Structure 1
């Protein structure tokens, strides 16, 4: 059973190599990717079942015991996020395949997309499952090196600058991460997370605080926390829809996961985290106001992505079981909904031939199915009942009110305001793109621009992939009770980390 923990990392790595070898056979590449990601969904579902029933599933690679060796561990939180992420990557791959067949024909293969996409999936899986800081760094580097290629594929000259911004910021944050790992190792003699949970407590308070803040900054950059978010609204909108969808759905959430894991397991807080609550409020408001100022649909969605990172920081700032339960529910909801919105944005763009809201119109009549596919995740993002966003936000608001501090009350009020601003932003899209008057295209689309290439044409696969994620967001509502219970148990694990430490280090993990 423990070998199953390695499969979400090993399978896509092996498949990436095979996909590169079969680079001239498009159908083999496509089938290989779908089979591998389907297998990861099944594996993640089983790991979640076992972790919830029997506790974390641990694999010590090479038989080396922790903290000396490399540990992979699937606890409730890691397995749950792995499952949701696998569903998203599966749906995005189907969308990508449909888009490529529509634009370039069934026989056209890609020597880069499928191998690199599978590498990205391996990096995401490793980030969730790794049990030490250094391999978390490795996971981020796998994701980032893959994303460098994906974000610059078939790029135009106008998109080189934002691509370079993304690359430079990512490399800078990686250098800072590596520096922090060196400092942590110098202070404690270990990078194993379970072992660090013991060792960091023996450090002077000032050193603990400094290391904790450095780690927060590293993952704050990767999760687009304000004021470290400046790179995201320029970078994400300039990639094709499926690439932006997987970036928005997963990469920032992996940063949030890493922040949650380290700030609960390694750098513990005894009460409400006031600094994080302040950052959460600023992130919500700045992102929402930025979204209202945009005419570019993808930039608007990117600012909304930044804004809703603040909800996750809100739950972490409350820093109790209720708050962390809300965070987990919100991450599950947001991974699904944000990826869906960017996929549907791609459908909208292909029908209208533009990313400018002022140039759109008439989609409610011309593409009624696209209207439905947009409306459900948009209402969910705004927190309108009975959709998944309402359930996740309600859990966070209840946690904030229960915390009983004036700062938590203020942030809860900011969360409500942000929901209203989000509703206004998505309503602007609806009134302009769907109810607005049909606009006359300014000219023929650039045939090299994958944001609008093939304008007016979509494939059933693209619609089905978007529908899968819409159905997944609806399913969150259907299984809200069991999902909330699992999230609650995962939150208990985070706050009472003895189970994690014992699973990794064995019976002598006390202290």
Structure 2
């Protein structure tokens, strides 16, 4: 029934894919320029931003449907054939990440516009936020679609420039200090990445991912492992894996909650996505899988132990963010299709849930004037809507069944059990302990911030005139003197609720989503599919798959994806004769 509608849609859209694939990069770039020109007209800026991000949701969802039915789609920018030209690659993995990020970016933009792009101060620049946010969108989308290392690097640099502007909104001393630290760490990551690109080009003479993977098979294993190690350091800083994660809890909590939300939800996942690409397309021998397992375990345990020691909800969530990156690295390190499927599923879940939790923290700051657990209390009675909005994603992150967090962990644990190695069983134990401790810190926030009477909090009579007290508190005022306390625009609540509903949709549609992530993992691990799609006639491989045959002959026989109709029974035909 569903395929009767989907197949004609895919058939109609397929010829336009070469024109659609570049649009996730082009649309936000053009919108950023238009928003900058409309700097004196905030209403026009907002219309441009919202419609652009809404269009990206529709576009990314359409691309996901096409790639799921038809396999990998590519476009060669400028007419130069791969591996010489710039190749944009849309497959199940990249389009799924595009679709989820588009939903998150739209909801956070809606939240920002409703709030007035400020966190307790009327002096933060609204005009510069929207162009920078759209440039961030462009960089993230470019990173997902890049088919070569250089354009992946360019995507990183685009959202780095935009993220520095967003991180320092308001120009308070703590935000500028955190912004400088963030930029310095990101510059180190970029330098390591450039060094890795130079090593790759020196070794194989190309930066096209498909051709790198093809030629890397002829490189000695020691050199290949060393190059992968350098790239892992660069991407590990972006993903905030242990021991490269110390910068994140000191940078993210100082920014406005809406900025922290999109950073936590998306930017670290770009690093995880890059690791998946390198592991599945280029460095397929799994030489560093054992090391990645230990990295995953340390990231999970150290992150959640750091969260347990925090009194500020933003910093607590920043540590849980680090901790749960370990689950994705665990799935990648297993090196199996099921493990990779679990990592992708968990990434989708975590993008939505972690972003929603940071948006809820923004609501808490608007309602109570602070995000410090030493000052919070009684929110379950004074703000029951916020209490519900917190509880749902908190239980989801903690892995309570039947939420998507539980389902994602089950896929990863099953993949670890199938691996059967003692190292995998250690990771399974670490994953279970991390999940229990995550639930503990989520309940701790609920107990202190929502159930406890505020007057019983150690500093319950104080609130911050400007929230996010990371280093020192300079603007303390009596709680009753705050003018904006409790004044929450409807759009802030509605956008947060929409994102939580999207996370619940992942739970409801977990079966179909797991099927998509499974197909994405299988096609990602079959490097011949990726290489044939990108290199075309420049790649020859004797083994042929269904996806490759479609790519080669251009057939649109989508009906083959459906269950074939049974052949007529000969006995029936004889009776009719």
Give the shorter-chain TM-score range: over 0.9
Residue number in structure 1 paired with 2:475: none
What is the deviation of 1:102?
Answer: 8.3
Distance 1:477 1:13 in 2: 33
What is the deviation of 1:155?
Answer: 3.0
What is the deviation of 1:268?
Answer: 1.0
Q: Is contact 2:139-2:156 (8 Å) kept? A: yes
2:269 to 233, 236, 253: 253
Mapped pair 1:472 → 2:502: yes
Residue number in structure 2 paired with 1:388: 404
What are the within-5 Å matches in structure 2 for residues 7-26 of structure 1?
Answer: 7-26=23-42
Unaligned runs of 5+ in 1: none
What are the within-5 Å matches in structure 2 for residues 475-490 of structure 1?
Answer: 475-490=505-520
Secondary structure of 2:75's counterpart equals strand
Q: Is contact 2:119-2:256 (8 Å) kept? A: no
Mapped pair 1:162 → 2:178: yes
Unaligned runs of 5+ in 2: 1-15, 471-481, 542-577
Secondary structure of 1:72's counterpart equals strand
Mapped pair 1:455 → 2:485: yes
Residue number in structure 1 paired with 2:283: 267
Residues paired across the two proteins, number? 511
Secondary structure of 1:358's counterpart equals coil
What is the deviation of 1:457?
Answer: 1.6
Residue number in structure 2 paired with 1:348: 364
Secondary structure of 2:452's counterpart equals coil
Distance 2:118 2:165 in 1: 22
Q: Is contact 1:156-1:449 (8 Å) kept? A: no
Q: Is contact 1:291-1:299 (8 Å) kept? A: yes
Per-residue displacement from partner, 1:279-303 (whole Å, max 9, x unpaired)? 1011000000000000011000000
Higher radius of gyration, 1 or 2: 2
Q: Is contact 2:83-2:535 (8 Å) kept? A: yes
Residue number in structure 2 paired with 1:359: 375
Distance 2:469 2:505 in 1: 31
Distance 1:367 1:104 in 2: 18
Distance 1:89 1:53, change over 3 A: same
What is the deviation of 1:40?
Answer: 0.6
Distance 1:455 1:174 in 2: 41
What is the deviation of 1:443?
Answer: 4.6
What is the deviation of 1:454?
Answer: 3.2
What are the within-5 Å matches in structure 2 for residues 110-509 of structure 1?
Answer: 110-270=126-286, 273-439=289-455, 442-443=461-462, 445-446=464-465, 454-509=484-539
Distance 1:300 1:158 in 2: 18
Residue number in structure 1 paired with 2:76: 60
Per-residue displacement from partner, 1:131-174 (whole Å, max 9, x unpaired)? 00000000000011100110011031133322221110001110
Q: Is contact 1:297-1:345 (8 Å) kept? A: yes
Q: Is contact 2:83-2:208 (8 Å) kept? A: yes
2:66 to 50, 72, 82: 50
Per-residue displacement from partner, 1:241-271 (whole Å, max 9, x unpaired)? 1100000000000000001001111011358
What is the deviation of 1:183?
Answer: 1.3
Distance 1:227 1:104 in 2: 34
What is the deviation of 1:352?
Answer: 1.6
Question: Normalized against structure 2, the TM-score is what?
Answer: 0.86
Distance 1:453 1:382 in 2: 35
Distance 2:179 2:273 in 1: 25
Distance 1:397 1:453 in 2: 49
Per-residue displacement from partner, 1:173-220 (whole Å, max 9, x unpaired)? 101111111111111110000111101111111110100111111100
Distance 1:270 1:116, change over 3 A: closer
Distance 1:69 1:120 in 2: 24
Distance 1:287 1:181, change over 3 A: same
Distance 1:45 1:453 in 2: 42
RMSD: 2.0
Distance 1:139 1:159 in 2: 24
Secondary structure of 2:241's counterpart equals coil
Q: Is contact 1:103-1:453 (8 Å) kept? A: no
Q: Is contact 1:47-1:57 (8 Å) kept? A: no
Distance 1:350 1:67, change over 3 A: same
Q: Is contact 2:454-2:460 (8 Å) kept? A: no
Mapped pair 1:38 → 2:57: no
Secondary structure of 1:506's counterpart equals helix
Mapped pair 1:95 → 2:111: yes
What is the deviation of 1:109?
Answer: 7.5
Secondary structure of 2:402's counterpart equals coil
